[in-house]
Amino acid sequence: MKDRTGSTRTTGDPDLSTLVDRATVDPEALARLHTRLEDAAARDGLLDVAYTVVDSPVGRLLLAATEKGLVRVAFHNQDHDKVLDDLAGTLSPRVLRAPKRLDDVARELDQYFSGARRTFDLPLDLSLSHGFRQLVQRHLPEIAYGRTLSYGEVARLVGNPKAVRAVGTACATNPLPVVVPCHRVLRADGTLGGYAGGAAAKSVLLDLESAA
Amino acid sequence: MKKPFERVVEEHAASVLRVCRAVVGVHDADDAWSETFLAAMRAYPDLPDDANVEAWLVTVAHRKAIDITRAGQRHAVPVADLPERPSADGLPDESDPDLWRAVKALPEKQRQAVAYHHFAGLPYREVARIVGGTPEAARRAASDGIKALRTTLSLKGATTP
């Protein structure tokens, strides 16, 4: 409460502090009101970006969706607060924690991580990437579950065999990791290559898919 | 650049709810809070980046409270189409009934001044801008309100810390 200092008279007045303390509201009331706001915002078309955070074998995942579809998946090590700031800056400041819109995504991810799902059937919003990067990301789901390609092979796949480095950048900047399977792209020598979620997360995903 | 609206809710949800409870009473506070944050979310992209968010929210809440009070006076009788509202039929989460009853008994100007200055933490200059009148009048209204609350409550509050 930054402006509380504006009232010098009130500080040091125990009665008044008691009184203000007694006005404290309980967390349950706030939680219930938050849910009500999520519903009303969705109903009125104000929920430009809904997000939630879910647990997974590769750590906490931030999931964000616009009205068009899933727009961002972020690993814990990508700093969720910063990711939300970026979404507010690039898409809309109307960003609200509203798990309901992410229910389908969360369910399909659960199925994927338990080995019961091989492809995702979700509406995607690719508006966070453009041009060649988006082209690459559109093609990545063509790499089948449990298979891998090298960066060079993906460059050929998208019809630009010389763009090996650009393919690497496109994978590194994939706004929808796991769902858009950039983890299935490896170095030509078979080593892992980079991954936004860290090498360990990439291994977990590849192991999961090779075990199934 | 604006921060995500979720952070505005996190930072101000509690103080706006206290303000709503104070100015419209515990029973209508949830509606007032919901309408305030929905209206705020609608207008948020156009809010100047350097705006005082707390003062802005209290201003919105103040207007919503007026709407709700007027609507309550207009149709105090009909019961047919109640607005959808979570089950609780009594006063939801009335953490401190004595306090809210005492606040409710204050004259409107005192209630608003106490809510906006003491519960929301706004300086008297901002309080005056919202309720009208001078900062000095707002200060007096808050002071009179606190005095009245002290009389009604302080004995209970002060003796049992």
Cα distance from N-terminal residue to C-terminal residue, chain B: 44
pLDDT of residue A23: 83
What's phi and psi for B38, nearest 5 deg? -65, -45
Distance from B77 to chain A by nearest Cα, in Å?
26
What residues in A contact B118, CB-CB < 8 Å? 7, 10, 16, 19-20
Give the separation between CA B34 and CA A104, rounded to whole angstroms.
27
pLDDT of residue B80: 56
Give the separation between CA A113 and CA A209, rounded to whole angstroms.
9
Question: In Å, what is the CA distance from A97 to each residue of B11, B13, B39, B80?
Answer: 14, 14, 17, 34
Give the separation between CA A46 and CA B11, rounded to whole angstroms.
20
Q: Does B155 touch chain A (CB under 8 A)?
A: no
Give the separation between CA A49 and CA B9, rounded to whole angstroms.
15
Which stretch, B69-73, B89-93, B106-110, has highest mean pLDDT? B106-110
How large a percentage of chain B has pLDDT more than 70? 81
* A72: in domain: yes
CA A209 remoteness from chain centre: 21
Interface test with B, best of A9, A25, A49, A85 (most B CBs within 10 A): A25
What is the overall mean pLDDT for chain A? Answer: 92
Q: Does B91 touch chain A (CB under 8 A)?
A: no
Number of residue pairs across A and B with CB atoms under 8 Å? 137
Query: Three-class SS of residue A71?
Result: strand
Contact A54, A205 (CB under 8 A): no
What is the overall mean pLDDT for chain B? Answer: 86
What residues in B contact A28, CB-CB < 8 Å? 93
Contact A41 B17 (CB under 8 A): no
Write the CATH number for B18.
Answer: 1.20.140
Residue B38: which pLDDT band, with cuts at 50, 70 and 90?
very high
Interface test with A, best of B118, B130, B143 (most A CBs within 10 A): B118
* B154: in domain: yes
Residue A12: which pLDDT band, with cuts at 50, 70 and 90?
low
Nearest by CB to A24, which of B95, B121, B149? B95
Structural domain tally of chain B? 1
Residue A10: which pLDDT band, with cuts at 50, 70 and 90?
very low
Same domain, A142 and A173: yes
* A122: in domain: no
| C-alpha count within 13 angstroms, C-beta hemisphere, residue A109 | 24
What residues in A contact B86, CB-CB < 8 Å? 32, 36
Nearest by CB to A88, which of B3, B123, B143? B3
Q: Give the range among A128-132, B54-58, B102-106 with minimum mean pLDDT.
A: B102-106
Query: Three-class SS of residue A150?
Result: strand
Res. B158: pLDDT tops 70: no
What average pLDDT does range B91-119 have in this prediction?
86
Residues of A forming the active site: 182
Distance from A26 to chain B by nearest Cα, in Å?
7
Structural domain tally of chain A? 2
Range of the domain at B105: 5-83+94-159
Cα distance from N-terminal residue to C-terminal residue, chain A: 53
Same domain, A157 and A186: yes
Same domain, A164 and A106: no
Distance from A201 to chain B by nearest Cα, in Å?
28
Res. A26: pLDDT tops 90: no
Would you put residue A32 in left (φ > 0), alpha (ψ -120 to 50) or beta? alpha
* B136: in domain: yes
pLDDT of residue B89: 43
Same domain, A96 and A150: no
What average pLDDT does range A107-125 have in this prediction?
97
Contact A167, A151 (CB under 8 A): yes
pLDDT of residue B153: 82
Q: Give the range among A69-83, A151-165, B71-85, B125-139 with minimum mean pLDDT.
A: B71-85
What residues in B contact A4, CB-CB < 8 Å? 121
What average pLDDT does range B10-38 have in this prediction?
94
* B89: in domain: no
Range of the domain at A97: 27-113
Q: Give the range among A1-5, A145-149, B138-142 with minimum mean pLDDT.
A: A1-5
Same domain, A159 and A192: yes
Question: In Å, what is the CA distance from A69 to each residue of A56, A147, A156?
Answer: 20, 26, 29
Same domain, A32 and A104: yes
Write the CATH number for A33.
Answer: 3.30.160
Tokens in use for A125? Answer: 């919003």
Contact A28, B88 (CB under 8 A): no
Q: Does B21 touch chain A (CB under 8 A)?
A: yes
